[in-house]
Amino acid sequence: MDILGPYTPLILLIFVASMLIQAALTRSYRKWSGVRNARNLTGAQVARMMLDENGLTHVPVNAVPGNLSDHYDPLGKTVNLSEGVYGVPSVAAMAIAAHEVGHAVQDKVRMPALVLRGKMAVPLSLGMNLAPFMVLLGAVLHFSGLLWVGVVLFGAALVFHLVTLPVEFDASRRALAYLNGRGLSGGEGQKGAQGVLTAAALTYVAGFAMALAQLLNVLGIARNND
């Protein structure tokens, strides 16, 4: 029985790197959360402006609890901003709010990658809850069928992370273009907005790297147990 794949050390390395990236994001967020943006606008105000200018006047901007819990809900058609973003006139709040509205704009134009990600999200979340058990049981019971089902599920997760990358990068691109075009990120604000969104983007790159390492690992386990 072999339940540890050949890429286990790589997974551990990527996990450590992910923690470091998350720490860098937290530091960047805290730093630029303490710096007011050039127009002294809260995250909610920036989001409302950007939504209205993109013909999305029907999309509400809601405050939600938590830290860095900001997200766009494509089902409810709502922009949801965390407490540290919604009512705060900081550079970080401005950048994050514009990024989430970027997703709303993607939804409006039906960006193919966003549509695909939305269709994959629910079934994949269910499948990934089962995938580790499939691999473990397959290895313990020497049942290759379960192992290869696990491989397929981990492969689907990799595709999901791959599709997520252009979605997130494009939302940040739209955010920065809007902020720069409206003069909202003047002076130090442009550097801060870029820094916050770059740090956030790296977390998605790390997620993709982790998904790739996990797929290679379970693939090695499946081959070793055939």
Strands 71-73 and 61-64: unpaired
The set of residues, in sequence order, having a beta carbon less than 8 Å from that of 164 and lying 6+ positions away, is 117, 204, 207, 208
Contact predicate 83/63, CB 8 Å: yes
Among candidates 29, 30, 104, 100, which has minimal Cα distance to 70?
A: 100
CA 26 to chain CA centroid, Å, is 15
Give the integer Cα–Cα distance in Å for 105 and 57.
Answer: 12
Among candidates 166, 167, 162, which has minimal Cα distance to 208?
A: 162
Among candidates 178, 61, 170, 90, which has minimal Cα distance to 70?
A: 61
Neighbours of 130 (CB within 10 A): 14
Among candidates 47, 48, 49, 88, which has minimal Cα distance to 67?
A: 88
Catalytic site positions: 100
- Tokens describing residue 175: 């955010």
3-state secondary structure of 92: helix
